[in-house]
A and B are shown apart, each in its own frame.
Chain A
């Protein structure tokens, strides 16, 4: 079997394979151009005959649960990343698979982290064929250098749900690490030593996987409430000594950036939003948990306070700052996808207006709408943007795959997408003739805010008109590029290998770009 085949030029002009790991895929056709057909995926029908009447589904070990789930060669194993770099379970799954001599597994995490570096060993010895999910740090390096057997597939959080729902990825065994669960399999992320707030990334896995294993270090008597994961989907429950490392799951404090340049970017971003009339009584926004994004949230808070306005909701990644705004009454609701610090976890536990969401509610493009498109403003990062406003979030300018897509592509559907980014990072200009990898078509990016000026996509004449007399440093994207190159020098053209090592999916499951091997 060829790793990939049938290359075609897609709607953003990139040559992408349509057969990947032996499976058929669609090339990207343009925003809103791909219409899915058929029925959603359905796992086999279960029956209560097979489950204990007393609801006790506990088994002695993860190994036993995996064996009872029928673990065998070629299966797809899914995990979630709510424990971030404090995950202790994913590695154990593949330790067991390795011990049992199982080969050729597809690991389907909602994101990978440096703590899972051990998977490199299992990719080398054939236990794992490929990762389909974000690839960060050492895993990204391994894949970029063409060392993985299969082709990596990177999806957004919404795209992952879509792929599960549409049957594009059939999960054989979902392993859901949970901070708290009961013996029936009801589970949540708000209680327990490994509290991470919520378990939304595992929702699709629980609904559509053939077998579901909940692993926890905190078994509580039935009923475990809230049941963010419903036990009715769960086959086995495993009690372990420790499910995750709390200090690496949530940080004690999330910090606003101290970098003067980034603070300046945040300040200009907020000034832009104010001048463009994007902030009003009842507006909504989403900003990440990076230092710059946190600082922008703070400035938004000041603007709301000054005008005696209230935001209707924040979509988050929640943290201390969002929680303070909720508690001060500056926002009505936090619709939370993942919780970044202990204040976020506490708030989610105690405040009815701090609501757990999932990629299904927030991001799934093959649903009857989602929350992301209702947002007024989304603040996102990027590694590169080109002169057509196409943006990259997964590879660096040297071609290495170092970030996941996360909710990035999904939130592009907000009314206004703003990328506050430094004009260059350690000499590497952010604005390029062509991005290394296209993760977003230019029409989805509205504004670039740098410390040296703001560029507005010509498609947003409305915004251009609104800030015309604001005194803000509005420039063209070409001017910004020239300014960076005057400082850094004109970058040489990146030379990559021909071989494809991974593909990037668009929110509708089509292939928007391919990642080529780095010549190390």
Chain B
């Protein structure tokens, strides 16, 4: 198999994926060999896809071997394309018909309580991730992908952005650290991602470069004013100290996230449950974000089996001022939502303020008061946001005003 290129996975526990080997030959026409767990039901369609791709890349003589464990078409296509492109140079992209849903823009200020990391080269974990309803799904090209798999992962992530059902979650990609991450953008940006996570961000210049690349690609692909938000991840001492200038580096920076594993390593300390070692960093990020008017997002909680500890962690995080948190397992999503959601006492207070504000407006009063207390505009704004959150997290009926 000296002249073959490979893509995909075929370890014994692989599911919903495939392994592809390809050899470019000088003669003999195209030969396609398929071994599939779903041969009886999808054998013909897999063969047709493979044939179409060989034609698309103008391969006349080649041997394509597919070992399939139930990969969806967009996964098969990504693997085949990666294997082929390791042997020929082509600037063509083989794209399956994408879903219109996957071109929907998102808002800068939309809720980002939870964002679920998905390893960018593991299709099995992607397929049903959206049904757990995280606010965002991150296709990760950085730490969750082994260096030798980075190339093929970009095709899988690209195809997932077009063809995966995100079930309404914001479509996010974590690119590699700048400058390598700039190459990722070329493949990812034309697929209308909503948000790009920029890892190990230490300086606003990183974001300037990211934005330059994004704008170039957007205009090349005639993407108009489709918004692509940035979420830089602060993961070092330097990043923490530059937090505010990073947060204000560009108008499309929607949030700052903090990554505590790398940060504590950089600080020469260790992550603890109490988290005192990161108190300064977390506070800096929250402060920077609030000053810049964007969302502060907390680090992931890595013990996926301990939901009580996670709940405590979320409460602390909310207490510090964070608006959301990363997750690495779908079961963490509900716990994060539940604990970031406003508490009953907050909702009650917010309801009173919102009603008082409404009444003042109706009566043409410039000043809102509740009892004997005057209420400032920012307080009203916060109360309105609390109400929105409460509705969003199922803590309050959307028609609560009619019910009061």
- Residue ranges of A at the interface with B (Cβ–Cβ < 8 Å): 260-261, 263-264, 397-399, 425-428, 451-452, 486-489, 491-492, 494-495
Q: How far, in whole Å, are A426 and B72 apart by their CA atoms in the complex?
A: 9
CB < 8 Å neighbour of A426 from B38, B43, B132:
B38
CB < 8 Å neighbour of A260 from B15, B45, B165, B330:
B330
Q: Are B70 and A427 within 8 A (Cβ)?
A: yes
Shortest C-beta distance, B260 to chain A (Å), equals 23
Q: How far, in whole Å, are A428 and B330 apart by their CA atoms in the complex?
A: 23
Q: What is the total of A-B residue contacts with beta carbons within 8 Å?
A: 60
Given A427-B16, A427-B70, A489-B45, decide whether A398 and B128 contact each other with a Cβ distance below 8 A: no
Cβ contacts A to B, 22 pairs, < 8 Å: A260-B128, A260-B329, A261-B128, A261-B330, A263-B331, A264-B132, A397-B40, A398-B38, A398-B40, A426-B15, A426-B69, A427-B16, A428-B38, A428-B70, A452-B131, A487-B165, A488-B42, A489-B45, A491-B42, A492-B45, A494-B40, A494-B41
Shortest C-beta distance, B316 to chain A (Å), equals 24
Q: For A428, list chain B residues within 8 Å (CB).
A: 38, 41, 70
Q: How far, in whole Å, are A425 and B124 apart by their CA atoms in the complex?
A: 11
Q: How far, in whole Å, are A260 and B329 apart by their CA atoms in the complex?
A: 8
Q: For B42, list chain A residues within 8 Å (CB).
A: 427, 488-489, 491-492
Q: How far, in whole Å, are A469 and B220 apart by their CA atoms in the complex?
A: 49
B39 at the binding interface (Cβ < 8 Å)? yes
Q: Are B131 and A398 within 8 A (Cβ)?
A: no
B37 at the binding interface (Cβ < 8 Å)? yes
Chain B: CB-nearest residue to A490: B45
User: Number of contacting residues on B, CB 8 A?
Assistant: 24
Q: How far, in whole Å, are A491 and B72 apart by their CA atoms in the complex?
A: 12
Q: For B70, list chain A residues within 8 Å (CB).
A: 425-428
Chain B: CB-nearest residue to A452: B131
Q: For A452, list chain B residues within 8 Å (CB).
A: 131
Q: For B127, list chain A residues within 8 Å (CB).
A: 487
Q: How far, in whole Å, are A491 and B44 apart by their CA atoms in the complex?
A: 10
Q: Are A427 and B71 within 8 A (Cβ)?
A: yes
Nearest 9 Cβ contacts at the A-B interface: A426-B70, A260-B330, A491-B41, A398-B40, A427-B70, A261-B128, A427-B38, A260-B331, A426-B15
Shortest C-beta distance, A432 to chain B (Å), equals 10
Q: How far, in whole Å, are A425 and B38 apart by their CA atoms in the complex?
A: 10
Chain A: CB-nearest residue to B333: A260
CB < 8 Å neighbour of B40 from A261, A399, A425:
A399
Chain B: CB-nearest residue to A491: B41
Q: For A487, list chain B residues within 8 Å (CB).
A: 72, 127, 165
**13 further interface pairs, Cβ-Cβ under 8 Å (given A260-B331, A426-B16, A427-B41):** A260-B132, A260-B330, A398-B38, A398-B41, A426-B37, A426-B70, A487-B72, A489-B72, A491-B41, A492-B43, A492-B44, A494-B41, A495-B40
Q: For B69, list chain A residues within 8 Å (CB).
A: 426
Q: How far, in whole Å, are A307 and B165 apart by their CA atoms in the complex?
A: 38
B73 at the binding interface (Cβ < 8 Å)? yes
- Residue ranges of B at the interface with A (Cβ–Cβ < 8 Å): 15-16, 37-45, 69-73, 127-128, 131-132, 165, 329-331
Q: Are B41 and A492 within 8 A (Cβ)?
A: yes
Given A398-B39, A426-B16, decide whether A451 and B131 contact each other with a Cβ distance below 8 A: yes
Q: How far, in whole Å, are A69 and B69 apart by their CA atoms in the complex?
A: 49
Q: For B71, list chain A residues within 8 Å (CB).
A: 427
Q: How far, in whole Å, are A489 and B39 apart by their CA atoms in the complex?
A: 13
Q: Are A488 and B132 within 8 A (Cβ)?
A: no
CB < 8 Å neighbour of B131 from A261, A399, A486:
A261
Q: How far, in whole Å, are A348 and B38 apart by their CA atoms in the complex?
A: 43
Chain B: CB-nearest residue to A473: B131
Chain B: CB-nearest residue to A494: B40
Q: For A264, list chain B residues within 8 Å (CB).
A: 131-132, 330
Q: How far, in whole Å, are A398 and B39 apart by their CA atoms in the complex?
A: 8
Chain A: CB-nearest residue to B16: A426
Q: For A260, list chain B residues within 8 Å (CB).
A: 128, 132, 329-331
Q: For B73, list chain A residues within 8 Å (CB).
A: 489
Chain B: CB-nearest residue to A486: B165
Q: For A451, list chain B residues within 8 Å (CB).
A: 128, 131
Q: How far, in whole Å, are A451 and B41 apart by their CA atoms in the complex?
A: 22
Q: For A263, list chain B residues within 8 Å (CB).
A: 331
Shortest C-beta distance, A355 to chain B (Å), equals 35
Chain B: CB-nearest residue to A518: B40
Q: For B45, list chain A residues within 8 Å (CB).
A: 489, 492
Q: How far, in whole Å, are A491 and B43 apart by their CA atoms in the complex?
A: 9
Chain A: CB-nearest residue to B127: A487
Q: How far, in whole Å, are A491 and B39 apart by their CA atoms in the complex?
A: 10
Q: How far, in whole Å, are A36 and B40 apart by their CA atoms in the complex?
A: 40
Best-surrounded residue of A399, A426, A489, A492 (most CB of chain B within 10 A): A426
Q: For A494, list chain B residues within 8 Å (CB).
A: 40-41
Q: How far, in whole Å, are A428 and B37 apart by their CA atoms in the complex?
A: 10
Chain A: CB-nearest residue to B69: A426
Q: How far, in whole Å, are A427 and B17 apart by their CA atoms in the complex?
A: 10
Shortest C-beta distance, A508 to chain B (Å), equals 32
Q: How far, in whole Å, are A428 and B40 apart by their CA atoms in the complex?
A: 10
Chain A: CB-nearest residue to B70: A426
Chain A: CB-nearest residue to B330: A260
Q: How far, in whole Å, are A397 and B42 apart by their CA atoms in the complex?
A: 11
Q: For A486, list chain B residues within 8 Å (CB).
A: 165
Q: How far, in whole Å, are A399 and B165 apart by their CA atoms in the complex?
A: 30
Q: For A261, list chain B residues within 8 Å (CB).
A: 128, 131, 330
Q: How far, in whole Å, are A488 and B69 apart by their CA atoms in the complex?
A: 13
Chain A: CB-nearest residue to B99: A486
